[in-house]
């Protein structure tokens, strides 16, 4: 008889998913209806998704680093922190790649190029490469302990690029505009409707990240169980073989 | 009317996130089918196997 499937959803995650979907759908509808600006025309409407995607990538990589530090610290070491780090890094890679893609789509009509080796763009591309390397490293070591230790150290090294990305527009002269999150300050000259929709976008991407993290962590837990169950079966098979050999001798 | 670039930005974002979410959910479903039915999702890890009883001969 086939065992009943245990999906990764729970009532709480379903509620979270519904909230994330609603927030994202509202962001898209309101974002596409934003008035064109004098400087950028209709392309400024991308502000509702591009900075929130970057924020979600920062958040995901930050959670990955915190979980990695918790795994490295002996007092809090537990397999769940390694799973949270792995799950969050993968989601962060998705958000970071989307940040680069939407930035490129925004850059083409406003700057005239799809890509330029600007400090903000280059440091973001480096961040993506670092966490892709982190995910590749997780596939190398077979021993779970060694894998967790190496990847935790790698995550702490890679996350050092996050403040460089964020402050790159202040530290270097770049083509990229100033920090979008600074536009949320009361003295900023951004129109109120843009601020509201960008705030909604930030909330939506945070909810989407949280929902993905819950499900991705449960997938990691299932993979660990499956790995453990496979090992148990292999041990049982070897014991059975040994018992047969002993009986025959 | 939004330009093609704006629509492309929103479309790529929503489409990619939806595809990734479906992939994660599908992976969870496949894995949960592969596991033995008596292993709870949020329970403790399966205990270490005990030694089999000694056999004569």
Rounded-to-10 torsion of CA A30, A180, B9, A155? -120
CB contact under 8 A, A3 and B36: yes
Domain boundaries defined on chain B: 1-34
Number of domains in chain A: 1
Q: Which residue of B has its CA nearest to A104?
A: B9
User: Is A17 a member of any domain?
Assistant: no
pLDDT at A215 over 80: yes
What is the mean predicted confidence (pLDDT) over A10-22?
91
User: Is A23 a member of any domain?
Assistant: no
CB contact under 8 A, B35 and A235: no
3-state secondary structure of A144: helix
- Tell me the pLDDT band of B18, cut-offs 50, 70 and 90: very high
User: For chain A, how many residues are written?
Assistant: 249
User: How many pairs of residues across A and B have Cβ atoms under 8 Å apart?
Assistant: 124
Specify the DSSP class assigned to residue B39: S
Using a pLDDT cut of 70, give the percent of chain A over it: 91
Specify the DSSP class assigned to residue B18: H
Per-residue model confidence as pLDDT tens digits over A93-141: 999 999 999 999 999 998 899 998 989 999 999 999 999 999 999 988 6
Q: Which residues contact A131 (CB under 8 A, 6 or more apart)?
A: A61, A64, A89, A92, A93, A96, A158
Q: What are phi and psi of A225, to 5 degrees?
A: -65, -40
Give the residue from A3, A13, A70, A77 showing the smallest Cα distance to A225. Answer: A3
Q: What is the average pLDDT score of chain B?
A: 74
- Tell me the pLDDT band of A19, cut-offs 50, 70 and 90: very high
CB contact under 8 A, A46 and B9: yes
Structure pTM?
Answer: 0.83
**pLDDT score of A240:** 84
- Tell me the pLDDT band of A177, cut-offs 50, 70 and 90: confident
- What is the domain range of residue A45? 29-181+190-248
Q: What is the average pLDDT score of chain A?
A: 88
Q: Which residue of B has its CA nearest to A226?
A: B35
Per-residue model confidence as pLDDT tens digits over A53-81: 999 999 999 999 999 999 999 898 999 99
Q: Per mean pLDDT, which range of A12-21, A63-72, A223-232 is the poorest?
A: A223-232
User: Is A4 a member of any domain?
Assistant: no
Per-residue model confidence as pLDDT tens digits over A156-166: 999 999 999 99
User: Is A98 a member of any domain?
Assistant: yes
- Tell me the pLDDT band of B10, cut-offs 50, 70 and 90: very high
Token pair 């969050």 is at which residue?
Answer: A88
């Amino acid at each position: 008889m086939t065992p009943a499937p245990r999906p990764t959803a729970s009532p709480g995650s379903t509620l979270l998913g519904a909230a994330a979907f609603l927030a994202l759908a509202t962001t898209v509808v309101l974002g596409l209806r934003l008035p064109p600006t004098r400087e950028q025309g209709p392309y400024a409407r991308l502000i509702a998704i591009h900075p929130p995607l970057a924020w979600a990538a920062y958040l995901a990589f930050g959670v990955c680093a915190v979980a990695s530090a918790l795994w490295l610290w002996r007092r809090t070491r537990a397999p769940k922190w390694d799973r949270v780090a792995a799950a969050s890094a993968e989601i962060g890679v998705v958000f970071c790649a989307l940040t680069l893609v939407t930035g490129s789509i925004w850059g083409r009509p406003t700057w005239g190029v799809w890509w330029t080796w600007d400090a903000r763009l280059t440091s973001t591309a480096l961040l993506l490469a670092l966490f892709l390397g982190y995910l590749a490293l997780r596939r190398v070591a077979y021993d779970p302990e060694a894998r967790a230790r190496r990847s935790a150290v790698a995550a702490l090294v890679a996350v050092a690029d996050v403040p460089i990305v964020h402050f790159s527009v202040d530290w270097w002269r770049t083509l990229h505009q100033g920090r979008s999150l600074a536009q949320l300050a009361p003295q900023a000259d951004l129109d109120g409707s843009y601020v509201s929709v960008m705030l909604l976008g930030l909330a939506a991407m945070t909810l989407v990240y949280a929902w993905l993290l819950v499900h991705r962590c449960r997938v990691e837990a299932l993979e660990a169980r499956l790995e453990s169950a496979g090992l148990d079966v292999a041990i049982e098979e070897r014991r059975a073989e040994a018992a047969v050999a002993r009986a025959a001798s | 009317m939004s330009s093609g670039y704006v629509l492309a930005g929103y479309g790529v974002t929503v489409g990619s996130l939806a595809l990734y979410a479906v992939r994660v959910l599908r992976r969870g479903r496949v894995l949960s089918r592969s596991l033995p039915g008596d292993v709870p999702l949020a329970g403790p890890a399966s205990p270490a196997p005990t030694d089999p009883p000694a056999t004569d001969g």
